Amino acid sequence: MFRTMENLSYTTTVILAGGLGTRLRSVVPGRPKVLANILDRPFLAFLLDQLVSADIRDVVLCTGYMADDVYKEMGDTYKSLRLTYSKENIPFGTGGALRLALPHLNSDPVLIMNGDSFVNIDLTVYLNWFFKKNCQASLLLTNVPETSSYGKVVVAEDDLLLAFEEKGVNSGPGWINAGVYILKKSLIETIPAGTPFSLEKEFFPKLVNKKLYGFRFDGKFIDIGTANAFAMAEEFFLSI
């Protein structure tokens, strides 16, 4: 039985935690990116704490690279969360990993989070906005002073997402994809099964100016995917 908006705690959350983390290996050797140590805690714990605060209960971890290490560290529960694992044996990309996890998704819609980024937001605000908007797909957008390293997102006044601009095309302040999505299951089911597929490059661009909306939130954001960004992570979390 799929749950909807009666109780946000029934919203299944997927964390995409299978990345290879090749750009971080010089500073985080021998560990998957989601277990990178920050303030004596794995980065993943900060995402899980955010879900605990939102009273979410059901989390699916999409693992791949060093998947067994993630399970050994996190186990089947974290505080009030129940952790389920969807393990890919070959790299399927963000979209392929999400599609593989489909049998574990017990709500409609589903909240999805990248396992290497964090935005300081009360997730219940985002979820409530989605239900009131009555849309099928959304991205959480955050404002940064320099978009060239991320790629800029163009959004209309009614929140309809109009365009993605590639990294390095334009500089200056603007809205970027913060790596937190809400998707209806019917859209997840359109992702081809058993093959590599990218949410960012193949899935979301097809929804632009049609079904995809952006929730703009001006909160602190970090992506730990590079050594330079990871070096700022402790200061970031201490500041919030």
**Looking at the annotation, which residues are catalytic?**
167
- Give the whole-angstrom CA distance, residue 191 versus residue 112: 15
Closest Cα partner for 207 from 188, 223, 192, 193?
A: 188
CB 136 within 8 A of CB 239: no
How many angstroms separate the Cα of 171 from the Cα of each of 5, 146, 206, 210, 232? 38, 6, 25, 26, 22
Q: Which spans in 75-176 are helix H?
A: 93-100, 123-133
Instruction: For residue 128, give both structure tokens.
Output: 């409530």
Per DSSP, the chain holds a count of helices (H) and strands (E) of 8, 14
Whether residue 63 contacts residue 71, with contact meaning beta carbons closer than 8 Å, is answered with yes
